[in-house]
Structure 1
């Protein structure tokens, strides 16, 4: 059900009178550039504009090429909302909603790699390319005990870094890796996934509990109304699923 909006709540969420939405173009599930116009397009842009409509304010897209930069903009109050994978490190400054989309993190290796399963990656001598500041970087930094992480400048640059530096593994969004696999011969994905990425919206914690609650209610409404599913279909996104409704407990 819609969250009751007050003047103070709208002011908390959009203090400049414009809803500044931090957009990460480094995750193809969430956003990219329209082939015809070159303008940002995707599920996150659709959600940002819908939230601006709910608040009754115009929307300004603040566009970045990496998740790390997008997160920093919201944490620093240079943007009012953003679209991120939920992670405890990011949660220090940002209040997250429940996820609206679930996507898979996968590993890519060369055809002749001895690695056959996700569980085999964390071993001495294995170097894993990840996008700097991405959800995979944060997660694997915590989880990998023996393998070495090599950070590419952005998520779309992961496979090129993997190839150029002759690394053993590339880690990232399954769809991005599949697209890179199609462009480069001799590569394969390890079966399954090493993590499920819970993509959510977020706002600076300093905006207060009511602002966070309004954003959380909006996400639940958009999932329940079919808006997120329709946006995924409209933008031709495959391999991502709408997250289930948040628990009311």
Structure 2
């Protein structure tokens, strides 16, 4: 690096040039320290903008539909932080449910999301290291025959799940007597629960606590039937960006950005990531 000459107080002009030189050098060093190299940036945001895919109703993704400046959600905040660190603009793209978020990444219409790193989804998108684990639980309506997590499987009971979700696949295979009913979005599930059309709704507790606040009389049952491993996901074929993404994840876990994002989103039911 070229040496910066010493500043002599004899003239204001050299002093001014020296200060401007320091500022320019600092800006250059900051850019080198934060912005992704071209290859990684091209892999993670090939259009020049990081398209962050979310769905409403989940603190892990997007708490509720809102104007861009008012959006809250772990994926929203971490996605925007990634874009800033890379030195590119971000765009938050909203889909009705998580299955369509994953499908958008498959088609290359979106670049980034955070979702459950299940084995099935790992066949469709590439995952980085988990950010946080989340308890899987049950939201029961008043007077539900399902009074605890252990009583999920019983004749005559109906449990709702999101269409195309990991819960649909896992509970569909696990529950032998309970009927599984799928819903296209979380609003539809909440309305069915309040109308008594289903006994309970099952997904991660981050979503369940959010639903409970908008569904009077319902409650999130104690205990859990599993855990989700929430991890950043990118489209297949973009492995050149993975090292940068992994480094970014370690940074947000250590520097408090992840903690701030979970608090801002009101995310509950979290666990330490599995080793």
Superposed pair shares fold, TM > 0.5: yes
Say if 2:166 is the partner of 1:135. Answer: yes
Structure 2 equivalent of residue 112 of structure 1: 143
Q: Residues 168 and 43 from structure 1, CA distance in 2 versus in 1: closer, same or farther, beyond 3 angstroms?
A: closer
Worse-matched range after superposition: 198-207 or 38-47: 38-47
Residues in 1 aligned to 2:211 and 2:243: alpha-carbon distance in whole angstroms: 38
Q: Residues 214 and 227 from structure 1, CA distance in 2 versus in 1: closer, same or farther, beyond 3 angstroms?
A: same
Say if 2:82 is the partner of 1:25. Answer: no
| CA deviation string 1:67-116 (max 9, x = no partner) | 11111111111111111111111111211122213322221234433433
Say if 2:258 is the partner of 1:214. Answer: no
Task: Please identify which structure carries the higher strand content.
Answer: 1
Structure 2 equivalent of residue 146 of structure 1: 177
Q: Residues 11 and 29 from structure 1, CA distance in 2 versus in 1: closer, same or farther, beyond 3 angstroms?
A: closer
Contact 1:67 1:133 in 2 (8 A): yes
The structural deviation recorded for 1:33 is 4.2
Residues in 1 aligned to 2:66 and 2:111: alpha-carbon distance in whole angstroms: 27
Residues in 1 aligned to 2:216 and 2:84: alpha-carbon distance in whole angstroms: 46
Worse-matched range after superposition: 119-128 or 194-203: 119-128
Unaligned regions of 5+ residues in structure 2, if any? Answer: 1-32
Structure 2 equivalent of residue 237 of structure 1: 266
Worse-matched range after superposition: 25-34 or 193-202: 25-34
Unaligned regions of 5+ residues in structure 1, if any? Answer: none
Worse-matched range after superposition: 135-144 or 214-223: 135-144
Any residues of structure 2 matched to 1:1-249 within 5 Å, and which?
Answer: 5-33=36-64, 39-164=70-195, 166-208=197-239, 210-233=240-263, 235=264, 237-241=266-270, 243-244=272-273, 247=275
Q: How many residues align?
A: 243
Which one has the largest radius of gyration? 2
Contact 1:20 1:59 in 2 (8 A): yes
2:203 counterpart SS class: strand
1:95 counterpart SS class: strand
RMSD across aligned C-alpha pairs, in angstroms? 2.8
Task: Please identify which structure carries the higher helix content.
Answer: 2
| CA deviation string 1:155-182 (max 9, x = no partner) | 3432212343622222134354345445
| CA deviation string 1:179-229 (max 9, x = no partner) | 544554553433212222221111012112x32332222112210111101
1:17 counterpart SS class: coil
